Amino acid sequence: MAATESSLSQTINDDLLIALEDGRVRAAYQPIVEVASGRVVAEEALARYIDRQGQVHPAFAFIEGAEQREIVHRIDHRLACDTIHRCSQQIAAGREPIAHFVNISANLLRHRDLVQDILDTAVTACTTCFPESIAEKPLVIEITERQLLDNIHETKKIMAPFLDFGLRLAIDDFGSGYSSLLYLADLPITFLKIEGELVRRAPYEAKVRAILKGVQDLAGELDLITIAEFVESEQVLDVVREIGVDWAQGYHFGRPEIPPERY
């Protein structure tokens, strides 16, 4: 076990596999809003662990530990399948279709059986959300720059079943660390999710606003949809709007919430 793992995340990780079996690993959904209209156009599924006392723990408390122990693919698979069922139920209830973002680890991409199971679940769970006739499916795969660049060639190859099926790709935490941008040229990316810390600092720092403008210009050139994370206030939203960011996510619009229904 890594020395960095805190005792809380160690306790959680010791229980994670059992929690997965017991249905105590759930998705919390956070809305994503179109800046121009204020309409909810998408949502992100975020993993939550519920301990034996019923207390809910956010992903940051256990995802890194789950990656180190190589069990994160099980969480990704669970959340993707739950989200497909949620999407299917919403369509069946006559709700306006939205995009459903799920976080995927490089670890999941190495488990071809689970990747195939997610695609099979999509085909069988929802013929209306995932019909062959519609090229663009509602499920969006979020992957971080770090995971892409650790293994760009393998990632591209293993990602192929998802992309061939018509799932779209979002780069998560864009601007959080890596300097190479070659993957923007190499992969069919649809969405850029702009790192939350940059967004949060934008109202107070001209340099940060200049960086965000640069990212927005680049995204415009590449025909990518931008999403600002950590939009926590009207003030941040105003700056994001002025820069021309397409969509926004953050506590200003709603916190991630576990729905009462099970999928």
- Taken as a whole, the chain contains a residue count of 263
Sequence letter at residue 171: I
C-alpha to C-alpha distance for 202 and 182, rounded to whole angstroms: 26
Q: Which is nearer to Ca ion, 91 or 195 (CB)?
A: 195
Q: If DSSP codes are grouped into helix, strand and coil, which group holds residue 110?
A: coil
- 75, 91, 126, 167: which one binds ligand C2E (CB under 6 A): 75
Q: In the numeric block, which tokens belong to residue 14?
A: 């010791």
Q: Position of tokens 């890194």?
A: 64
Binding window for ligand C2E (CB under 6 A); candidates: 75-83, 115-123, 181-189, 220-228: 75-83
Q: Which is nearer to ligand C2E, 9 or 103 (CB)?
A: 103
Least Cα distance to 59 among 23, 16, 109, 118 occurs for 16
DSSP character for 107?
H
Site for ligand C2E in 242-261 (CB under 6 A): 250-251, 256
- 9, 88, 90, 105: which one binds ligand C2E (CB under 6 A): 105
> Closest approach of Cβ 101 to Ca ion, in Å?
7
Site string for ligand C2E, 169-198 (x = CB under 6 A): ---xx----------------------x--
> Closest approach of Cβ 60 to Ca ion, in Å?
11
Site string for Ca ion, 128-167 (x = CB under 5 A): --------------x-------------------------
Contacts of 259 (CB under 8 A, 6+ apart): 29, 86
> Closest approach of Cβ 232 to ligand C2E, in Å?
4
- 33, 42, 47, 141: which one binds ligand C2E (CB under 6 A): 47
- 32, 35, 76, 114: which one binds ligand C2E (CB under 6 A): 76
Between helices 152-165 and 112-125, what is the axis angle to 10°? Answer: 20
Site string for ligand C2E, 194-233 (x = CB under 6 A): --x---------------------------------x-x-
H helix intervals, 166-263: 182-186, 196-201, 206-222, 234-243
Query: Judged by CB under 5 A, does residue 103 bind Ca ion?
Result: yes
C-alpha to C-alpha distance for 217 and 146, rounded to whole angstroms: 23
Site for Ca ion in 161-190 (CB under 5 A): 172
Greatest Cα pair distance, the chain, in angstroms, is 50
Could you tell me which residues are beta bridge partners of residue 166? Answer: none
Q: From its phi and psi, is residue 38 left (phi > 0), alpha (psi between -120 and 50) or beta?
A: left
Contacts of 113 (CB under 8 A, 6+ apart): none
Site for ligand C2E in 111-150 (CB under 6 A): none
Binding window for ligand C2E (CB under 6 A); candidates: 35-43, 69-77, 117-125, 148-156: 69-77
Residue count, binding to ligand C2E (CB under 6 A): 21
Note the residues at the interface with Ca ion (CB under 5 A). Answer: 103, 142, 172
